[in-house]
Amino acid sequence: AGILAMIAVPSFRQFMLNQRLKNASYDVVSALALTRSEAITRNSTVSLVASGGDWANGWCVTTAMDCSAAAIVQHAALNRGISVSTYLLGTTTAGPTTITFGSSGRMNSAATVFAIASATAVSGVQTRCVTLSLAGTSHISVVDTGSCS
């Protein structure tokens, strides 16, 4: 029984962490879609803003430039052990902590990639990359290398 537990615990840990990363990537895609939809519906700019400048701390959809009382929706911090980094598409340059959509549903900034990964290296855990195009559409890809660029 002890040997079986030694084999099962690491793979269960990998499974749980991969599920948390998958859920976090779906949350980011959902927030981006909501932000874009609100911009089109309101016929004005709407932003997705990282709480405290760090996406892992959560985010809000807002008509202001911070997560103030004007927030349309707030998202709580992600589970411990998950890191979120943003990059400008095709580079290793740090990306924005605010994503803004105009009334047409197009982004008002450069195309961005969200890298959602384990905060510590864990064998068998895959990084999730959410790529946001200038047109405002997003898609998720999975990489084993840990790098979305």
Mean model confidence pLDDT for the chain: 88
Query: What is the C-alpha R_g of the chain?
Result: 17
d(CA 77, CA 12): 23
The DSSP letter of residue 114 is E
CA angle 72, 76, 82 (to 5 degrees): 135
pLDDT at 147: 77
The pLDDT tens digits of the residues spanning 49-73 come to 999 999 999 999 999 888 877 889 9
Q: Residue 122 has what pLDDT?
A: 81
Which has more confidence, 122 or 75? Answer: 75
pLDDT, position 25: 96
pLDDT of residue 37: 96
Contact 99, 132 (CB under 8 A): yes
101: pLDDT strictly greater than 60: yes
CA angle 77, 30, 113 (to 5 degrees): 80
| Cα 68 from Cα 20, distance rounded (Å) | 27
- Cα(28)–Cα(24) distance, rounded to whole angstroms? 6
Give the tens place of pLDDT for each residue, 23-40.
999 999 999 999 999 999
pLDDT over 90 (residue 140):
yes
Separation of alpha carbons 50 and 95, rounded Å: 12
Q: How far apart are CA 80 and CA 57, in angstroms?
A: 10
